[in-house]
A and B are shown apart, each in its own frame.
Chain A
């Protein structure tokens, strides 16, 4: 295991910057995600403008990987439609499960692409996907019934 492939500068940056770590003034939806085995506990807040994710932020605590992954996800989905965000969640989870390996596809994840290495660390997979599962839960119904 090469720690350099996990604790990259980008992850450190997201972990420490905290620019997405805040409360929204008027969230339309809050989704708490909890990983009982390690205690990571994050709450995702979303503000919608019609079908668009207008703003997103998170609070809670967790390891560097869960914090960075959440922050990268928020950067990625802000301004996107629920459908687009939903598809990106599926790409991310597919990447971590090693089901999606096509680089072109994975580049859509922007910063979060760097978390691909976590797929080689079974002990940390749950940390990486926690917030993405919360987002999926938040928008799943709208996306699936909208079809």
Chain B
């Protein structure tokens, strides 16, 4: 493990070098979307300047070049997450589409009347709504696992909820709203013992920690490119090959076919069966560059840096008596996300005031309304860190926080 050369890294992210409201921009919303390094921006540019054509079409050289670029991206992802097969890697638009693909193509066909689906109360709406739709349509039951007194997933509750009736367990690897890292290896093994299929929403995990599919052995693992330095509009579904092979297509149309007759068709092999229509090839190319950037810096080093910032920020925030921090108090169970509120001030006012100090944080329910309701709050502010953030930016954030209540007319 080595310290990151942040000055070098920041040269790769020109967007961060700007003034917002006469202050240095402190971008603390990487859990929503990350910024792109120059190698990603240039890879997309190079693809468009030299290699763009529609893939899998015709025999001409440019189309073959574009197809090769697309295939290279898939192989890169396969290696990055240690998937056993390239054809287990399906490109989607984002995490949301990947979960919908599984819910509709697998869930709708395999979850029956009386079956159960288990999710965590911390899930993002994208890992709740598709299962609600499956449960409602197929008369299945959607069950939630709640938190323990330390704000982490109550594993006793998990074991109570996952039963022989459970057909799907859909869990977030890292909570986007609380930053908690869930014990997913244990969850996968337990769910498999009960005969359930497991989907892991890795959107908040994959940018920050090594994910080894063969070691973890989930049935589905999904994530988005734009939260890991890549472009928007590209996401990944890893699926166990035997399961994917039996699943029907999600979207149908161009490029996912074998033979098409007037009344029936046969479908292409994996992974193309699930990639209907023209794909976002330039985004796939950008995602490959993003993975290369992350591998170059090293996930261990990134995690180390983020956690240094997170711990520093939490320690400073704890000194401010009117701040409430949500989630685990145990720093080892957290990622680089801090969800908090300031007494008497709505999160949106906090975010507006911090913005005036150049600090970008997220405010609201973080697409986790059931969690907010469960915690008895309406919304929180969320600061999240990534490899390009600095201690100085954390200080800027802390100084901004100290000024918030003053603007709302409170003494301190």
Contacts and interface: CB of A to CB of B under 8 A. Distances in A.
A9 interface: yes
Nearest to A7: B407
Given A7-B407, A12-B408, A12-B409, A39 B378 contact: yes
Interface stretch (B48-56, B158-166, B216-224, B350-358): B350-358
Contacts of A13: 409
Contacts, number: 54
B379 interface: yes
A43 interface: no
B311 interface: no
Contacts of B345: 64
Nearest to B355: A1
Given A1-B21, A12-B409, A63 B348 contact: yes
Interface residues of A, number: 24
B349 interface: yes
B352 A39 contact: no
B307 interface: no
B24 to A, nearest CB: 15
Interface string B377-390: 01100000000000
Interface stretch (A20-28, A45-53, A120-128): A120-128
B196 to A, nearest CB: 32
B346 interface: yes
Contacts of A106: none
B363 interface: yes
Given A64-B349, A123-B352, A39 B409 contact: no
Chain A interface mostly helix, strand, loop or mixed? mixed
A1 B364 contact: no
A38 B409 contact: no
Interface string A102-122: 000000000000000000010
Most-contacted residue by chain B among A13, A41, A64, A123 (CB, 10 A): A64
Contact of B364 (A2, A39, A64, A121): A39
B267 to A, nearest CB: 38
B163 to A, nearest CB: 34
Contact of B346 (A2, A9, A64, A121): A64
A3 B353 contact: yes
A9 B409 contact: yes
Nearest to A67: B346
Contacts of B378: 39, 41, 61
Interface string B358-372: 000001110001001
Given A63-B348, A63-B349, A123-B352, 19 more contacts: A7-B349, A7-B353, A7-B409, A9-B409, A13-B409, A15-B408, A15-B409, A37-B364, A38-B379, A39-B369, A61-B346, A61-B378, A62-B346, A63-B347, A64-B349, A65-B349, A124-B348, A124-B352, A127-B348
22 contacts: A1-B21, A2-B356, A3-B356, A3-B407, A7-B408, A7-B409, A9-B409, A12-B408, A12-B409, A15-B408, A16-B409, A39-B364, A39-B379, A61-B346, A61-B378, A62-B346, A63-B346, A63-B347, A65-B349, A124-B348, A124-B352, A127-B348
Q: Which 3 A-B pairs have the closest CB atoms?
A: A63-B346, A12-B409, A63-B348
